[in-house]
Amino acid sequence: MAVRAAGRPAVARAKIHAVEATGPVKPLIEPDTSQAMPTARGGAGTPPREPPRGVGGRLARIHAATAGDDWLRPELCQDALRIGRVLSGLAPNEPEVHGLVALMELQASRFRARTDASGAPVLLLDQDRSRWDRLLIRRGLAALARAESLTAGALGPYTLQAAIAACHARANVASDTDWPRIAALYDALARLVPSPVVELNRAVAVAMAFGPAAGLELVDALADEPALRSYHLLPATRGDLLEKLGRHDEARAEFLRAAEMTKNQRERALLEGRARSV
């Protein structure tokens, strides 16, 4: 499905996480500025339809249940997914309900591969995709198709995030990932739900699609964002891109800075390990 950014919607703002990409970046998290944005279903500037009163808030609360400082909280995520499925039955014609369910199904499909035997994080591109849950992927793709079929205008924020997750789910190997498509989806999401964290996601996608120099330029433009001053994924992402560019001393410093900023012990160990390996 083609994508176009729309005007800012009245729906509840999604809580966006940095993409699970090549650096120490957590999901759910993952624009083609060299080409014209592709056309979307619906007329120019048509915003996503607002869910009925109260539904938007419920979606935000369900999605918030999947967030947190732990690398994984599968029990809580399973509860949120169960509630999302129930809500999709109660509001079968609401595209964003199906979009959220699709997002959670696709994210949950990777749970078994996201940590190793010791519980240490395994980044997306390093995961054993044979461990991904194919049933959850099929459910997620079906929910995404349902959300897209119900959308008369531009896609809403949950459906856009589900479409990003679907790009990863459809790739049998990491090298098959459609990064230009992901970059375009993040561009649409950044227009719809403006946020420095979404822009950081977009920068990672641009780096994967068009090279680390292109991504680093976007990351550096976020350096003075107040909302990112204590956000450890900014220096973590910058360190990853600097390492790819061969700027090893700078990369090491960024990984160590990110390790000092995070409050998650698993992430701190991962970042310190990245610093040692540069």
Our measurement of the distance from residue 114's CA atom to the centroid of its chain's CA atoms, rounded to an integer in Å, reads 15
pLDDT at position 229 is 93
End-to-end CA gap in the chain: 39
Helix, strand, coil percentages, rounded to 5, for the chain: 60, 0, 40
Q: In degrees rounded to 5, what are phi and psi of residue 115? A: -140, 155
Q: What is the pLDDT of residues 28-43, one digit of tens each?
A: 223 222 222 222 223 3
Q: What does pLDDT average to over the chain?
A: 80
Structural domain boundaries in the chain: 55-277
Q: Which of 18, 21, 24 is nearest to 254 (CA)?
A: 24
Quick check: 67 pLDDT over 70?
no
Q: Determine the Cα–Cα distance for residues 3 and 11; give it in Å rounded to an integer.
A: 19
Q: What is the pLDDT of residues 196-231, one digit of tens each?
A: 999 999 999 999 999 999 999 999 999 999 999 999
Quick check: 70 pLDDT over 80?
no
The DSSP annotation for 135-160 comes to HHHHHHHHHHHHHHHH-SSSPPHHHH
Q: What's the pTM?
A: 0.75
pLDDT at position 213 is 98
Quick check: 270 pLDDT over 70?
yes
Quick check: 160 pLDDT over 90?
yes
pLDDT at position 200 is 96
- DSSP code of 71? S
Question: What integer is the mean pLDDT of 232-247?
Answer: 97
Question: Strands, DSSP E only, in 132-273?
Answer: none
pLDDT band for 3, please (50, 70, 90 cuts).
low
Q: What is the pLDDT of residues 173-199, one digit of tens each?
A: 999 999 999 999 999 999 999 999 999
- Looking at domain 55-277, which CATH architecture does it have? Alpha Horseshoe (1.25)
Question: What integer is the mean pLDDT of 92-117?
Answer: 93
Question: What integer is the mean pLDDT of 65-73?
Answer: 49
E strand or H helix at 202, and its extent?
helix 196-210
Task: List the alpha helices (DSSP H) in 31-176.
Answer: 55-64, 74-90, 95-108, 134-150, 157-169
